[in-house]
Amino acid sequence: MNFVWVFLGGGSGSVLRYLVGLLFQRSGLELPLATLIANVLACCVFALTLSFIENKVGDNNTVKLLLLTGFCGGLSTFSTFGYETWMLLKQSQYLWAIGNILLSLTLCIGSFIIFKK
């Protein structure tokens, strides 16, 4: 049954990631905004879920599999982040690449600082 929870969460997260990509595909910025938003959103959901589990329901393996492993795993896109940053570097867009790295790290880690209480 654990595989089913991961599958359902992962599918949902992947569909949301696709929709975020469609929403921001024409942003016109050099910064890969869709990937940044998807990764920050996944970190926020992850941090909030951890707080909820610890404060409300105790150690719930089903919620962890569905939301943390499945949904957040399907939504977050580290490989895309790596690829898009590499493409910025390859195109000599050094400031955008550095900005992407710094924003991604700051906002993703900041999500845990803000939401994981």
Q: How far apart are CA 4 and CA 59, in angstroms?
A: 19
pLDDT tens track for 10-68 = 999 999 999 999 998 877 778 899 999 999 999 999 999 999 888 876 778 899 999 99
pLDDT tens track for 68-113 = 999 999 999 999 999 999 999 999 999 999 999 999 999 999 999 9
**DSSP element (H, E) containing 84:** helix 78-90
Handedness of CA 32, 38, 39, 40 (dihedral sign): positive
Q: What is the pTM of this model?
A: 0.89
